[in-house]
Amino acid sequence: MDHTMSQYEQAAPRTGRDGARRPRVVIAVDLPEPLCARIEREEPRVEVVRDHSLYRPRRGPADWSGDPDHRRTPAQQQAYREMVDSADVLFSLPDVDPSELARTVRANPSLRWVQAMAAGGGAQLRAAELDRDELDRVAVTTTAGVHGSPLAEFAVFGVLAGAKTLPRLQRQQRAHEWGERWEMTQIDEMSVLIVGLGGIGAACAEKFSALGARVLGTTRSGRPVPHVDQLVPIEDLARAAADVDAIVVTLPGTAATDGLIGDEVLGAVRPGTSLVNVGRGTAVDEDALVTALEAGRIGFAALDVTAVEPLPAQSSLWDHPNVLISPHTAALSSREEERIVRLFVDNLDRHLGGRELRNVVDTVEFY
């Protein structure tokens, strides 16, 4: 292979009908071909480059990282890197790997924008450890909002499981015990505090409000959010937590949110409060959570995320009777790929028109 000009630089013409150079969009992960073609069809001003023979095979829908046991040959790895290094715009971090993002940013001065596959793409960007000039040159956007509906459904499921005493029902069923009747909690009698009112939090607010719950939500801006009955300043989080029946955490993983749901908040809640986390696991202090569970202040916890993933085998959360563990799977949907492409095409139009992109990562807080 002629290394002075790769096959991707020699391939299709990079100019439009008016002779202007067409920006090159490189698909860096195994996006199904019909969706690659959709980007091409809906935005003819760009050149869409992909090579499905070079991607890590997917194990299911939206499996952007691909099979971790797959290994490219040296020639394939070189071809893959040449492809991603030819991009003006990247659809996904290369191999969803922050170190590969850093490598391609430094190898490719033409790169201007990377669409991350995660709603929490800020953590990936932080892990890439780019310098300030690199951060200023390359915008990184997230898929915030794409996962709102499925995660909001899991949040409703988690709160319902606590309200309807799922652990007690399962325990008595396993014991073949009918027992006495008891009163369950009704969602339309509950107050639910949503910690984080971004895309996921707003979707949660809509669903809980539709079920008749009184919805509270934390805010830094103070701006009203639809379906939220009461906004709570973040500094008043512990006080608000003391007056609700359930807490739903949708926070991203940042320095400001690390351990935010800790001793102060969990020590303030009233007995039997339910906790659901569909944000980032680091937002909940797991030692404080175990203490609150043992004291009965948290009556039930549904966790789709944990501070360390996979959750270590020695974690006491695995065996606690009032904890439900989901292996970060609540957002997985066969429609995720289509939703991300829809967001990407909209942002591509904004990018080409010189307008502000949606979901740009803040390069100070990485959120």
**Euclidean distance between CA atoms 25 and 88, whole angstroms:** 6
CA dihedral 55, 85, 114, 92 (to 10 degrees): 10
Angle (nearest 5°) at CA 293 between 193 and 291: 105
Name the catalytic one among 33, 294, 309, 365.
309
Contact indicator for 117, 144 with CB cutoff of 8 Å: no
Residue 360 gets which letter from DSSP? B
Is 129 annotated as catalytic? no
CA 101 to chain centre: 18
**Token pair recorded at residue 104:** 């391609």
Name the catalytic one among 328, 339, 342, 350.
328
Is 328 annotated as catalytic? yes
DSSP symbols for 127-194: HHT--HHHHHHSEEE--TTTTHHHHHHHHHHHHHHHHTTHHHHHHHHHTT------PPPPGGG-EEEE
Catalytic residues: 280, 309, 328
